[in-house]
Each structure stands twice: as structure tokens, then as C-alpha cells.
Amino acid sequence: MTRIEPIALSAEETEWIGLYLQKITTDQMQLFLAFVTGSTVLPAGGYDALKITIRKVASTVIAKDGLPQSHTCFSILDMPSYSSQEMLAKQFTTAIEW
């Protein structure tokens, strides 16, 4: 079995994700939650109880600027490197609205 080791997110990428989540609509946030966790609602404890892991993966797993992938059983979002904040937003939106 192949083990994929995640790559640390840069401070810039972490900021881009935060900005994306701040800018999306309530409906898109529900889609994002469903994409990552399999549920459109927050857990009983709200955002504080929400445990999502976002991992950056190598370009051999997901091509640069590609669509993110999720693992809903474990609330994990795997993302590639993105060339810009705009590309991250475009690809995240495409993935959640698919």
C-alpha cells in the first residue's frame, strides 16, 4: 500500500483558504461542509467542534492547480499547490458545486 505524506501548507496558502471561507455564501459553506465532511450542518458544538484536516499533497498525487479531493469519512481535504488565491478559489468552488 502506498502511503502519501502530506506537505505542510505555507502561511500564504493558509491565508488563501481562510479568505476563501470568509468570502463564500452560506449556501456555498454548506456545500463545502458536505464536500469535506459528508454533512451540510455543523456538529452539535458548532465551529469549535468541527474538525477538518486540510493537507497539501504532492503534484504526483494531484496536479498543480488541480481540483481538491476529499475523504468524508475522516473529514480530510487534500489540495495541490495553487499558483494564486484566485485559482484556489476557482478550484474549490468547482469542487464543491460539482
3-state helix, strand, coil split of the chain in percent (to 5) is: 45, 10, 45
State yes or no: is 73 an active-site residue: yes
**Rounded CA gap, 88 and 78, in Å?**
12
Q: Which of 60, 73, 83, 98 is catalytic?
A: 73
**69 is written with which cell numbers?**
479531493
Are 75 and 52 in contact by the 8 Å Cβ rule? The answer is: yes
Distance from C-alpha of 29 to C-alpha of 25, rounded to nearest angstrom:
6
Active site residues: 73
